[in-house]
Amino acid sequence: MGFSRNDHLFDSKEFHERFYTAVPLGVFLSEEGTVFRLWAPTAQSVTLRLYLRGDHCTVSEQFQMSLWKKGVWEYKTDRLLRGVYYDYMLIVDGESFCSADPYCRACGLNGERSMIPDPSETDPEGWGADTSPAKPDCDIIYELHVKDFSWDPNGGFFDRDRGRFSALKQEGTTLNHSGLYPTGLDYLKRLGITHVQILPMYDYGSVNEAEPEKGYNWGYDPVNYNVPEGSYSSDPYNGAVRIRELKEMILQLHRAGLRVIMDVVYNHTYDLESPLFKTAPWYFYRQNEDGSPSNGSGCGNDIASERSMCSRYILDSVLYWAEEYHIDGFRFDLMGLLDQELMEQIRRELDARYGMGEKLVYGEPWSAGPTAHRPGTILCHKGNLKQIHEGIGAFCDDTRDLVKGSVMDVDSVGFVNGNPIPAELLGKCLTAWTGEDGVFRNAGQSICYLSCHDDWTLWDKLVYTMDPKKDFCGSEAVILQANRLAAAIHFCCQGRLFLHAGEEFGRTKGGVKNSYCSSAEINQIDWTRAWKHEGLVDYYRGLIALRKQLPWTKDLSEQGKQRLLWVENETPFCALACVNNEGADSLWDNLLLIFNCGQTLVETKLPEGKWQILVDGESSFLWKEEHSISGSCSVPPKTAQVLGAKRRDLS
C-alpha cells in the first residue's frame, strides 16, 4: 500500500458524479435468491468466495462478480445462501486485497469473514413486540462497558455469563449470591437512571474472540461497523449468536425501563487493513500532503466523513442500528473529526423516522489532533457547536474541569478540591454554558458530566489531589465528602446528566488514567465496593430522584438560562444561587443552591420566607421530610445545601 495522494481525485466533483450511488449495498435475501453488491470503484476485478465456516477453512466456491454501475460489483444467484460465510478478493492497481464485506451484518470469528444471517436465528422471542420505554423528560445517562459490568466474581452472575451481553439481562443477581445486596440489572433499576450508554459493542479488533478471557479493551478500534462484538457472545464462531444475544440484552433493558445508547466510533478504524480500505483504497481516509494517513484521531488514521460515499456509509450504519437493534441514541467518539453536514443529516433522518428528538445524538466535540479534511469542511468541534443543529449534543468539559480540576494535569484542582468558587463561573456551570458568551445554543445540547471512561475516575482524581497517602481503595471521609459535594453541584446543573458507571460508589482504577488496555480486574465494576459505599450510592439515588422533580434542571430551552435569578459569593469558597423552579406540579417555586467548598463552616442569611432543606452534605432525601427553616442556615465545610420554597412562603 503506497502513500500516493488521492484526495484531489476522491474529493472532486467528477468522482462524486461518476461513482456516488444510493443503490442498496451488501447482501440481500429474497424468494428469488441471494444478491451480493460491493462498492469498489477503483477495482479491476472482484471475486466472491464462499466458506462453510467463519474461521480457518478453505474456499468452498468462488464466483467472478460483474461490474454493474457507479462502481458497484454484483453477483446474483437463485440459491438462498442463509448462514453462508464469504469474503472478496479484489485486484486494485495490480495489487490483491482479501477483504470482508464492509457492508456485512454478521461475521465469523474475529470478523475476518462475513456471514449472511438467517433472520429466523437472530431475532429472540418477543423481539417483534419490543418498544423503547417512554421518552423521559429528564435524561440520566449511565455509561458502562459490557465486560466491566459483570466481570467481578462477587457480582452474583452465572460464570457462563460473566463479561457477556447475557449478564446485562439477568435479574435477581446479588452480591456473592447473598440475596441481600442487588447487583447488575436490579442495581441499575434501583439507582433510577434512564439510559445506559454502552461502550463500543460492534466488532472491534483488539481482543481475540477465540480467547476473550485473556484480553481486554474498551473497544474504540472498529473492524466491522454493523456487526456485534463476538467476545461478548457465548459463541463467536457462529455469526448469528452474537446478534441474537445482543438483541436479548436490549430487549431486557427496555423491559426494565432503560433506554440504550450506542457508543459509535466512525472517526477511524482499527488500522488500514480494514474492509473499507481494502475495497476502496484510501477513499474512506484522509491523507496528509505527503500522502500519509491523517492522524487527528491519535489512532493512526482518520475517516473522510465529508466524502459522499463515506457519509452515506456512516448514515446507513446509524440507521441500521436504530432499526434492526432498536437503539435509542448514539454517542459519537471524537465527533470533532466528523463534519457538520453528516451529523445534521443523521439528526434529520432519525427525526423523520422516529420523531423529533426521540433518538439522542451527541458526541465528543474535540479530536486528538489536527486532521487533513477537505478545505471548506465544517467539523463538529467545540468552537462550532453554536452553528450546528440544536438537536446534536456534546460533552461539556468546562463544568467537568471546574468542579474537580483539569484532566490534563493530575495536580490540577477544581471547586471541590481546592479552588475558590467564583459566582460568575458557578452561574455558567448551572446554566450549561449557554447564552451569547457560552458554548451551547441551549442546555439540551450540553452533556453535563464529571467523569467518563477516559482519564481518571472522579474518585481517583480526588485521591490524587486530596489524599497524601494516595490510598485509592480506601474510604477516607474527606474524599467521600468531596465526592458528595461534586455530585450535588453536578446534579444542580441544567443539561442532560451523564454518569460514569461506578462514579456513585467511588469507583477506582487504582490511579490508572486511561485503562483502555489494562486488565479486566482494573476495569471491572467492584460490586463489593458498591455496597461498602452504600451511603454514597444512596446520596446519588436521592439526587437522581430529586432532579426528576425539578423543572429548573429539566428546562433545556434557550430560555432556560433565564431561570437563574441571581448568584453571589458569601465567601471566596462559598457561593449561592437562587433559581426559578416553577412548573407543572412543582413542589418548590424557587430553589436556593449553596455550595461551601471551603474548610470552615459558613453561616448564610436566607432570603425572606420559609425554606425547606432538600439536600445537605449527608442526605439527599431530606425533600421527603416536612419541615421548614427561616432566617439563616449553617453550611458545614465541603458540603452543599439545596433548599426549596413555595411562592406563598416567600415574603
- Contact assessment for residue 117 and residue 332, using Cβ atoms and an 8 Å cutoff: no
The residue with cell 446543573 is 493
248, 364, 504, 616: the catalytic one is 364
Residue with cell 436490579: 186
Q: What are the Cα distances from residue 161, in Å, to 16, 142, 184, 209, 414?
A: 47, 21, 12, 15, 40
What is the Cα–Cα distance from 628 to 607, expressed in whole angstroms?
Answer: 13
Return phi, psi of residue 470, to 5°.
Answer: 55, 50
Q: Which candidate in 333, 460, 570, 616 is catalytic?
A: 333
Q: Which helix (H) or strand (E) holds 220?
A: none
DSSP state of 440: B
In terms of residues, how long is the chain? 651
**Letter for the amino acid at 160?**
R
- Ramachandran angles phi, psi of 276, nearest 5°: -65, -40
Phi-psi region at 366: left, alpha or beta (left = phi > 0; alpha = psi -120 to 50): beta
- Per-residue b or e along 421-438, where b marks 16 or more CB atoms closer than 10 Å to that residue's CB: bbbebbbbbbbbbbbeeb
- Residues with Cβ < 8 Å from 456, sequence gap 6 or more? 407, 410, 464, 509, 511, 513
Q: Has 364 been annotated as catalytic?
A: yes
Extract the C-alpha cell encoding 362: 451527541
SS3 423: helix
Q: Is 31 a catalytic residue?
A: no
Phi, psi of 503 (to 5 degrees): -55, -30
Point out the residues that are catalytic: 333, 364
